Amino acid sequence: MTRPSAWFYAQKFLLKRLSGIALPKPKSILSAQRHSSFVTTSSPKRHDSMANTTINPPRDPNTLSNYNNWRTAHTTANLEILFEEQRLSGNVVLTLKSITHAESKEIFLDTSYLDISAIKVNGRSAEWALLPRREPYGSPLRISLDTGIAAEQTVEVVIYLSTTSSCTALQWLTPAQTSNKRHPYMFSQCQAIHARSIFPCQDTPDVKSTFDFNITSPLPVIASGIASPANPTVTPAPSTSSLYKFHQPLPIPAYLFALASGDIVTSRIGPRSIVATSPDQLSACVDELSADTESFLQAAEQIVYPYAWQQYNVLVLPPSFPYGGMENPIFTFATPTIISHDRQNVDVIAHELAHSWSGNLVSNASWEHFWLNEGWTTYLERRIQASIHGNDAWRDFSAIIGWKALTDSVEQFGHDHEFTKLIIDLKGKDPDDAFSSIPYEKGFNFLYYLEKLIGKDRFDTFIPHYFTVWKGKSLDSYDFKATLLDFFVGDKAVTESLAGVDWDTWFYKPGLPPKPDFDTSLVQPAYELADRWQTLTETNSPSSSSSSSSSSFKPHPSDIHPLSGNQQVVFLERILTLPQPLSPAHAALMGTIYSFQTSRNVELSSRWCQIALQAGDRSCLDAVRGLLGSVGRMKFVRPLFRALMRLDRGLAEQLFDTNRDFYHPICRAMVEKMLRE
């Protein structure tokens, strides 16, 4: 693996930061404080205060672990899934390597709401304490060692534990909450800092380890590793439990730890891919995903380099899953909203697959640099789509949709908000609060800008180099900049072009970046249809009915027949930005005449509901109730609640109370915060 040059570190050291955050030091002169999370002056006795412990995080402010002293080399999870008690119970074995020159005598790990019963170090009972909780990061677990451990030496730490009802990473579903209502279901979502609520760990993307999973459950299990050939292949009776084993040979951060268990069956969707889901959903999932998955893989390999994870599989989860997809290695966890029966939403799979390189192999060092995961992944996703369609216009088409999402997020936060920057300050903050389309789309636009600046052919030579240099590692934005400059140091034309990049503005300026000159050929038909609808708003007051319109435009079902599902999304997005909203009658007419009100494509039905709520069309409320009670994906839930709050805050609060147990804990917390605003 190629190591960055000395010039690389010299350039990194010279970078300026406008935000006042301390500049990372060159690795060649890096001292022990590089990864210092704790400096402790106390003796290794139990205590209930952190008064003697000073938090001084270097790159990741969202961990309480002392990963400056220790690095997790391997993690083994020996857990039993107890559905009736809604908890995991067992032990986790951490192999930790000392990385300091001085002997290490204390280990600090991240935990949150865990029930820990005992800890052993190298086979002997250890002294330990859970220190007071520090919101939003949980309770540091301090383990005291009898003797100091020299650099490069390892210890084996066995932690006996149980999750609790306050666990934020797990969602437990009753049979009634699943699609076929036969068995209970459990799944995890650990990004960003929720792995610590399943097991004590160094819950930072700056640390990676290999994993083994030994999971006992009465129902089939999926994990983010390669399944053992000895795993049960037939669904056991719910009254008995079986052992399921998985191995993850490539080092991954704790947030990619993933588990699911329920009434799950599988089918092949490609030569190196399977889909897993509920038996009643299997046929639809195979139909939706089998046509594109291997093509996506091959296209990505041509852009970067061969896929490293052996298998690429998809678990289609129950509808309360809060994201479009989660890039858990080996098994992407995906929302059922991608199964739209028209193959229009499988770009989610292209995105999560792209994470196999960006995020999983090469990871952001902290959530302050989240754009390195998501901006790169969005860039690769759109390159994959352009390759599949054989036309770069498809990339710009997707980017135009993304620009709308970016502008919405910036408007929601405010143009001067910290979270609208590319590099954000998360010290003392919950990374979930910053989650939005901004790191995805602003990050994409930065990479798109660099590609256009130096030329696509040259940028294409940088892509595999970047993912080779940082394979298996974590980096920050300054590492990225230095890697780019170092790679082109011998190319005078590119060096001169890069000299004109205003890095500080891109990294630290809040709000929208400059809008690229996108190819609009694929969005033009959608824009033209939206313009025709705009004539209805221009000739009528918001309360007017369609029958009194003097516009020559008469909506007809055939209007949208030439438009793909994603072009219809662009049309609906355009309607949402009209200077004057549709009248209630026109909003209702659109939902009926174009069948948006009953569409199985949630990308369409949810946007139409936003249009109708914006228009004040209360006839849409049954559709809104249906979506908010059956879809837990935050992409749809949050905008719908936001629009409903403007029309009828009381109803919004009522619907949230009705559905709160349906939503994943992450989604539930986000909506609760929104309702309190």
Is 355 annotated as ligand-binding? yes
pLDDT digits (tens, 9 = 90+) for 571-591: 999 999 999 999 999 999 999
The C-alpha atoms of residue 672 and residue 655 are separated, in whole angstroms, by: 12
Dihedral (C-alpha) 11, 16, 21, 26: value to the nearest 10 degrees? 10
Inform me whether the pLDDT recorded for 1 exceeds 50.
Answer: no
Is 634 annotated as ligand-binding? yes
Is 544 in contact with 615 (CB distance < 8 Å)?
no
Distances (CA, A) of 367 to 35, 192, 363, 370, 432: 15, 8, 10, 5, 10
Confidence (pLDDT) at 47: 36
Is 351 annotated as ligand-binding? yes
Confidence (pLDDT) at 238: 65
Confidence (pLDDT) at 550: 62
Q: Is 294 a catalytic residue?
A: no
In three-state secondary structure terms, 341 is: coil
Range from 106-120, 155-169, 316-330, 529-543 carrying the lowest mean pLDDT = 529-543
Assigned token pair, 428 = 């003392």
pLDDT digits (tens, 9 = 90+) for 159-170: 999 999 999 999
Is 635 annotated as ligand-binding? yes
pTM of the model: 0.86
Closest residue by Cα to residue 74 from 198, 171, 208, 182: 208
Average pLDDT over residues 277-305: 97
pLDDT band at 16 (very low <50, low <70, confident <90, very high): very low
pLDDT digits (tens, 9 = 90+) for 496-528: 999 999 999 999 999 999 999 999 999 999 999
Average pLDDT over residues 247-261: 98
H helix count then E strand count, the chain: 19, 24
Confidence (pLDDT) at 32: 28
Assigned token pair, 239 = 């009254």
Q: What is the mean pLDDT of the chain?
A: 89
Inform me whether the pLDDT recorded for 3 exceeds 90.
Answer: no
Is 324 annotated as ligand-binding? yes
Which DSSP state fits 320?
Answer: T
The DSSP secondary structure of 377-440, one letter per residue, reads HHHHHHHHHHHHHT-THHHHHHHHHHHHHHHHHHHHH-TT-GGGSSS---TTS-GGGG-SSHHH
Confidence (pLDDT) at 547: 46
Q: Which residues of 331-345 are buried (b: 16+ CB within 10 A; e: fewer)?
A: bbbbbbbbbbeebbb
pLDDT band at 344 (very low <50, low <70, confident <90, very high): confident
Residue ranges of the chain assigned to CATH 1.10.390.10: 363-508
Range from 229-243, 271-285, 308-322, 430-444 carrying the lowest mean pLDDT = 229-243
Which DSSP state fits 546?
Answer: G
Confidence (pLDDT) at 90: 98
Q: 2-11, 33-42, 202-211, 548-557 — which one is most confidently predicted on average?
A: 202-211
Residue ranges of the chain assigned to CATH 2.60.40.1730: 34-167+185-230+240-246
Cβ neighbours for 351, distance < 8 A, ≥ 6 positions apart: 324, 325, 377, 378, 381
CATH topology for 34-167+185-230+240-246?
Immunoglobulin-like (2.60.40)
Inform me whether the pLDDT recorded for 28 exceeds 80.
Answer: no
Inform me whether the pLDDT recorded for 551 exceeds 90.
Answer: no
Is 268 in contact with 312 (CB distance < 8 Å)?
no
Is 191 annotated as ligand-binding? yes
Inform me whether the pLDDT recorded for 549 exceeds 90.
Answer: no
pLDDT above 90 covers a percentage of the chain that reads 82
Is 323 annotated as ligand-binding? yes
Inform me whether the pLDDT recorded for 41 exceeds 60.
Answer: no
Average pLDDT over residues 56-61: 74
Is 342 in contact with 601 (CB distance < 8 Å)?
yes
Q: Which residues of 160-183 are buried (b: 16+ CB within 10 A; e: fewer)?
A: ebbbeeebbbbbbbeeebbbeeeb
pLDDT digits (tens, 9 = 90+) for 460-500: 999 999 999 999 999 999 999 999 999 999 999 999 999 99
More confident residue, 540 or 420: 420
In degrees and rounded to multiples of 5, residue 628 shows phi and psi of -70, -20
Is 255 in contact with 192 (CB distance < 8 Å)?
yes
Is 327 annotated as ligand-binding? yes
Average pLDDT over residues 548-568: 88
The C-alpha atoms of residue 312 and residue 334 are separated, in whole angstroms, by: 13
More confident residue, 300 or 11: 300
Confidence (pLDDT) at 161: 98
Q: Is 301 a catalytic residue?
A: no
The C-alpha atoms of residue 486 and residue 484 are separated, in whole angstroms, by: 5
Average pLDDT over residues 431-447: 97
Is 318 annotated as ligand-binding? no
The C-alpha atoms of residue 148 and residue 145 are separated, in whole angstroms, by: 7
Is 16 annotated as ligand-binding? no
Closest residue by Cα to residue 347 from 594, 638, 608, 603: 603
Is 667 annotated as ligand-binding? no
Is 76 in contact with 211 (CB distance < 8 Å)?
yes
The C-alpha atoms of residue 575 and residue 37 are separated, in whole angstroms, by: 49
Residue with tokens 């914006």: 614
Confidence (pLDDT) at 235: 66
Confidence (pLDDT) at 176: 82
Confidence (pLDDT) at 237: 64
Give the count of beta carbons closer than 10 Å to the beta carbon of residue 34: 14
- What is the sign, positive or negative, of the torsion defined by CA atoms of 479, 481, 482, 484? positive
pLDDT band at 543 (very low <50, low <70, confident <90, very high): very low
pLDDT above 70 covers a percentage of the chain that reads 89
Catalytic residue among 352, 368, 451, 573: 352
Residue ranges of the chain assigned to CATH 1.25.40.320: 524-676
pLDDT band at 30 (very low <50, low <70, confident <90, very high): very low
Is 633 annotated as ligand-binding? yes
CATH number among 1.10.390.10, 3.40.50.1400, 1.20.1090.10, 1.10.10.60, domain 363-508: 1.10.390.10
pLDDT digits (tens, 9 = 90+) for 105-157: 999 999 999 999 999 999 999 999 999 999 999 999 999 999 999 999 999 99
Residue with tokens 């980096």: 475
Residue spans of beta strands (DSSP E) within 4-153: 38-40, 53-55, 70-82, 87-98, 104-109, 115-121, 124-125, 127-130, 141-149
Is 207 in contact with 71 (CB distance < 8 Å)?
yes
Give the count of beta carbons closer than 10 Å to the beta carbon of residue 23: 12
Range from 46-55, 262-271, 385-394 carrying the lowest mean pLDDT = 46-55
The C-alpha atoms of residue 47 and residue 44 are separated, in whole angstroms, by: 9
The C-alpha atoms of residue 543 and residue 548 are separated, in whole angstroms, by: 11
Catalytic residue among 244, 440, 594, 663: 440
H or E, element range at 338: none
pLDDT band at 539 (very low <50, low <70, confident <90, very high): low
pLDDT band at 634 (very low <50, low <70, confident <90, very high): very high
Average pLDDT over residues 340-361: 93
Is 509 annotated as ligand-binding? no
Assigned token pair, 265 = 């069956």
CATH topology for 524-676?
1.25.40
